[in-house]
Chain A
């Protein structure tokens, strides 16, 4: 299966992989070849790519993924290899999410709260 990981600033990855684990908005999903065409939004989390040369992990902060017959493309707002992801980036993100939560109206409050939770969750996993 072909996988593209792109951010607005550059293309991070374009390769043949066997499986990718996507942190979807409604739960993680593992995608392999011949997956049903799906579009899902991403929550802040870790994206795991299993390819021929081992497992690679990327920290993504949001965006969406498009899974089609031609392959999978992950369009991430921000994506960095796990090793390079500093806590600073996540702290900044958490601060802005909390700010958004504080000023959110009732309709978007739940989504904002979810985002804050997701980010702190991710920070916990990163150590």
Chain B
């Protein structure tokens, strides 16, 4: 049975923890709004890009001179997995779920005798993957100093990946990130970057465009851009998901702290009353004995 003083200290500790988690939740909520706005503003560009590219790609996919980015190297031996996670923890299962998805894929590939290379974006994913797949980590992108993810960050990641691709370092590239559905739901997602895939657009009416310069030059110019755009979209989704996950994790923590305080307060009051009753009994029985 803890003493009254111990209980009192416990209650104080939990109370200050609750203050911290409450503050973190509110900060996350504010950041989430901004992250969501950023993701929303980036959407028109990505959608247009996808629409134009899929239109172009449909025509070019079957031509023998199609760019390598579109049809792949023809091999399926070396896989580059880009795992995008957050720089900070305390956001529930957000990082773990992305890492879990990537790890399962890595193990599947390794079991099939393929070579796996992993590029991590964000510290948390790197820490988790280093334990069992440390030999496969090839590079790491540090965004811990970055307050707001900009297109230039995505572009530099894409440039790096494309340089590796043209140096024949891998055949297939996949990107892992958390897709933002809502505050309570972030879905770890796998997206194949290279060879490029397209979401089927419904308005796939093939308008015959004039191309300036010719079709293939445009395609060669656009494909690398589209990789950067997809990375950018993923980073923005990730940023929103991270804040969403943190918000609900901190909300839970705050609620748990509240419950704990209630429980401890009841315990405190019980033992205080027990101590008083004890004292009274002692006094009364002392008086009776006289």
Contacts and interface: CB of A to CB of B under 8 A. Distances in A.
Interface of A: 4, 6-11, 24-26, 29, 36-41, 63-64, 66, 68-69, 73, 75, 77-78
A68 B208 CA distance: 10
A80 B44 CA distance: 17
Contact of B211 (A9, A38, A78): A38
A55 B176 CA distance: 44
Given A8-B42, A8-B228, A9-B42, 11 more contacts: A6-B45, A8-B154, A9-B41, A9-B150, A9-B151, A11-B44, A26-B213, A37-B207, A39-B56, A39-B212, A78-B151
* B-side interface size class: 20 to 34
Interface of B is mostly: helix
Interface of A is mostly: strand
A23 to B, nearest CB: 12
5 contacts: A7-B45, A9-B150, A11-B44, A26-B212, A39-B209
Contacts of B209: 37-39, 66, 68
Given A39-B52, A73-B48, A75-B49, A10 B210 contact: no
Contacts of B210: 36-39
A7 B151 contact: yes
Contacts of B218: 39-41, 64
B226 to A, nearest CB: 10
Given A41-B218, A64-B52, A64-B218, A11 B212 contact: no
A8 B213 contact: no
Contacts of A66: 48, 52, 209
B239 to A, nearest CB: 13
Query: Which 6 pairs of residues, A with B, have the shortest CB-CB distance?
Result: A40-B212, A8-B151, A10-B41, A38-B210, A6-B45, A37-B209
Interface in B54-78: 56
B229 interface: yes
Interface string B219-231: 0011001001100
Contacts of A41: 212-213, 217-218, 221-222
Given A24-B212, A36-B210, A4 B44 contact: yes
